[in-house]
Structure 1
């Protein structure tokens, strides 16, 4: 009997990548793809598509019927406390209730290492107590609790690049170009991965090709963090654009004075200090090769067609 997979957030960045990977592996017929407003980007692939809203419990009824594995990638990012609570926490709690009642065997949930709060973070493990600082992160941490209580597995990536990324590398690029200088020399280390690598891991576990212990949290980045300067150089070479001279440096305090009011502190927290999360638990459990590190020029260049229009306004 075919094992069915329920994929939430199938119209989003991560969920869309998981949908593509499932289709690539010939698993489309097994997938019930759940979207809110946007349809899955992977069309004509025989996915069974349904609409639901995590903030509407009635729309979740029956979603998990006949499902073996739930991959929960839907999330609200950037809403106020009540909106995030309704979608990320209460919506996940109701989805877990539906999964239990339907006898779902495996739940995989995509959270974020941002639940650890402000840095700097140097090889932080999953056992360090999270201190979330935003409505999004607080409610995503609460959602983790619902998933773990249901015996699910939690994945915490930090920064994600690739097709669909409209935030990570574009924001880092905009910050660097606006300052026309490197914050503390661009030496901050960032844990990151590609959306395709993350989707491959989720698909491996969802389809049973690899096993992970349930009820466990895993940081889900590449083991090797990327230096900000290396990321930006690789991106600049890919899109053919200049960067600040190597000698152009500003401290975080100086950068805060140069950035527009309201965004400076957030940008500096996110990109101006090291955020390195230890991923030993994940890659040891998978027994898999994580592939090349996230900074090599050839890897960043593989996404040139996606980033070029965003960063330069030129067609790919």
Structure 2
């Protein structure tokens, strides 16, 4: 299969690219810069120049492939609504050329269910989800399944971890290093689902190869890791004390990260594992943190 991968040089997308190539597929990787293009080429993939706002480029990439893995996203946390709108336009553009072809389209999403419960694949997007900026994209993707596209949504948890991670966990590590303490909101009993990026990459491949149209899938290794375990592991890794922060002070301590520090977002992948015979094989979040690579200074 020749797969058009958006976000091919990113933290997760680069792992998906390598996973696909190792399985004998060809990869056409979207690259918006010379640096990204070099990374895509170095991985052994073909470079396709463009970005999420270049809809004609996205159409050409999708048209030139046997399937699409859409991982690129504009992570502008100051205006995620605008980022979500750009994502929706990108999906609609690629969907136009995939319409009626039966080709697979796998779209990356977040856990779109309400916090405080164990999210399952059969739950539709909920307006209370912290990832509500991806709602329209998920609905648009699943609608393509009714138009002859083997479209599916692959939801990722708050932490996709591994070597090179630059997501939420490294941000909390940086904050702890800067302030000299590792903090948790309240007693830190809220939990985060997590998955290793190599396990997620394998699930992307399996989804492209075999997932039926119109399904939601969950890339979940840890169903829920208590945030106090994350904070304590960060404290040990940096050699700093661990402190509790009152919920009303979360924004003062963490800034915009305060909401994510206190959210309870657990998830199950039971249906995904059964459907695609997928089993996480890589280290869980806490053992990955304890391995030490998260605490090396750049």
TM-score category (smaller protein):
0.7 to 0.9
Q: 1:66 to 1:39 in 2, by over 3 A?
A: closer
Q: Closer, same or farther in 2 for the Cα pair 1:61/1:249, shift >3 Å?
A: closer
Report the alpha carbon displacement of residue 51 of structure 1 after superposing the two structures with TM.
0.9
The 2-side partners of 1:133 and 1:205 are apart by: 24
Partner of 2:117: 122
User: Aligned-pair RMSD on alpha carbons?
Assistant: 2.8
Q: Residue 294 in 1 paired to residue 291 in 2?
A: no
1:19 is the counterpart of 2:20: no
* Residues 198 and 282, structure 2, Cα contact 8 Å, conserved in 1: no
Q: Could you report, residue by residue, the CA deviation over 1:114-172 in whole angstroms, capped at 9, with x for unpaired residues? A: x446x3x22133415411678xx444221222211112110111221123421211122
Q: How many residues align?
A: 286
Which whole-Å CA distance do the structure 2 matches of 1:138 and 1:250 have between them? 26
Tell me which protein shows more strand as a share of its residues.
Answer: 2
Partners of 1:81 and 1:171 in 2: CA distance: 18
Structure 2: distance between partners of 1:64 and 1:39? 18
Local SS of the residue matching 1:50: strand
Q: How high is the TM-score relative to the length of structure 2?
A: 0.82
**1:275 is matched with which residue: 247, 265, 278?**
265
User: Residue 202 of structure 1 aligns to a residue in which SS?
Assistant: helix
Name the CA distance, whole Å, in 2 between partners of 1:183 and 1:166: 21
> Scaled by the length of structure 1, what TM-score is found?
0.78
In the TM superposition, residue 254 of structure 1 has moved relative to its aligned partner by: 4.3
C-alpha distance in structure 1 between counterparts of 2:249 and 2:14, whole Å: 39
In 2: Cα distance, 1:7 partner to 1:295 partner: 26
What are the ranges of 5 or more consecutive residues in structure 1 without an aligned counterpart? none
Aligned-pair distance for 1:93?
A: 0.4
Query: Could you tell me whether the CA contact under 8 Å between 2:223 and 2:267 is conserved in 1?
Result: no
Does the 8 Å contact 2:29/2:48 carry over to 1? yes
Query: For 2:182 and 2:295, how far apart are their aligned partners in 1?
Result: 19
Match of 1:5 in 2: 3
For structure 2, the 5+ residue unaligned runs are: 146-150
| Corresponding residue for residue 62 of structure 2 | 64
Return the alpha-carbon distance in structure 1 between the equivalents of residues 67 and 278 of structure 2: 21
**Which of 142, 150, 155 matches 2:144?**
150
**Residue equivalent to 1:31:** 27
In structure 2, the CA distance between the partners of 1:187 and 1:176, relative to structure 1 (3 Å rule), is farther
